[in-house]
Amino acid sequence: MSILVTGAAGFIGFHLCKNLLENGYEVVGLDNLNNYYDVSLKLARLKELERISIKEKIKFSFYKIDISDQEGIVNIFKTYHFKKVVNLAAQAGVRYSIENPSAYINSNIVGFNNIIEACRNFNIEHFVYASSSSVYGGNKLLPFGEGHSVDHPVSLYAATKRSNELVAHTYSHLYNLPSTGLRFFTVYGEWGRPDMALFKFTKNIIEDKPIEIFNGGDHVRDFTYVDDIVNAIMHIIFKIPRSNEEFDFKNPDPGTSWAPFKILNIGNSKPIKLMEYINAIERHIGKKSKKIMLPMQPGDVKETASDTSRLERYINYKPTTSIDEGIKNFVEWYLKHYSHELSCENNKIN
């Protein structure tokens, strides 16, 4: 039996495939390898997965395919007999959704529908998918909990992720398809995305370039280390949600249902100020940054904080990696992975 992971060459998808292979599970990975960020990083992740597959003697099959390709998705499901599907493929990025909305509709709406429809037609036991803390939008009640209202998104990206949750609930209700949506909170770590703060700050500080800090640095984020995210997903994949027999129809909870449906926050539950995060990066690089202070960006939120009590009760698991440890691991990976480029850059300067 193989487990399907879409977005396999992406940041979280790569780490999940790696963990599954190392734990003896055959994996089929899909990714369209788009150019939203450096494709060479995605190819390097796939190369690493191939290395692990050979080392562990566990099969990893990769297909370059866009999940908006309905016929291609159906053919993949026909070829394999999946029981578990994890959909991590999506067009990411809050700010980019303002510049290129159609990319989000194609991937996060059309593509998501293709995957969940295939899950229904091929009798998948459990459909797990990535949502986002962005769905909390204009909510000011902290920490964010799964029972909170999420009807006021402030970016198209958030709106597409909330749409995924609503579609998943409909399929759970109509077709008895067990589904679990995971609201990730600002994931960071090794092999991370170049468009995210940790990667951009590290790169620019090392290269002696200024870093752009929005809202004057007055942000608070619930940064969550990627290994903690993946460890939680590993537990969740094999825990199929059941209907909530105590569901209150007069006071409905968005995170649960009479159908086999569940939504869970996966965060660190220890939000920190952005400037503290930057200080930790500077400390592990051993170099101060040059800062450009900018106003708040459209679609952004000032503060995020996760209530992970439901996650803890559900799988008896709580993220534990400290910000300092996580940033240290990333900086060490970055220096190693890009050592050749850094060496060439230093030679130019000298």
Active site residues: 157
Residues 133 and 265: beta-carbon distance below 8 Å: yes
Q: Token digits for 338? A: 């890009």
* d(C-alpha 247, C-alpha 250), whole Å: 9
Residues 67 and 112: beta-carbon distance below 8 Å: yes
* d(C-alpha 86, C-alpha 71), whole Å: 19
